[in-house]
Amino acid sequence: MTVYNVQIDVVPQFLADQSHASQGVFAFAYTVTVTNTGQIAVQLISRHWLIHDDQGHKEEVTGLGVVGQQPLLRPGESFRYTSACRLRTPSGTMGGSYFFVAEDGHRFDAAIIPFVLDSANHLPAGRTLH
């Protein structure tokens, strides 16, 4: 087991009711679960997102914490939150990193593997995957 390690899982969702294709607005929510899989407590300090639409437009988002919080995660603990973004096109990608400081002062970045935002890959309201 690594002393400093986090696992980041992301589940994106197209928000059809908040999107307006004729106006070039495609809304997406994404639920992130951050799990401390290391051996020491770590605190999520800041975020760095790179958002790309399928026409090459790039947006960079940085800031302290996530959803107004800077969670402290002890080994084995998780923090889950949901946020949202808008694209000008029906699909794109998001990825980036979180910056952490461990309880012993060690600092590190954890990569957020790019994931796809796609309005064509969604289920009608009330349907779930099995």
Distance in angstroms between the alpha carbons of the first and the last residue of the chain: 32
- Condensed to tens digits (0 to 9), the pLDDT of residues 67-90 reads 999 999 999 999 999 999 999 999
Domains and CATH numbers, the chain: 6-118 (2.60.40.1470)
**Per-residue pLDDT at 121:** 64
**Per-residue pLDDT at 1:** 59
The model's pTM is: 0.89
Helix (H) or strand (E) holding 35: strand 26-36
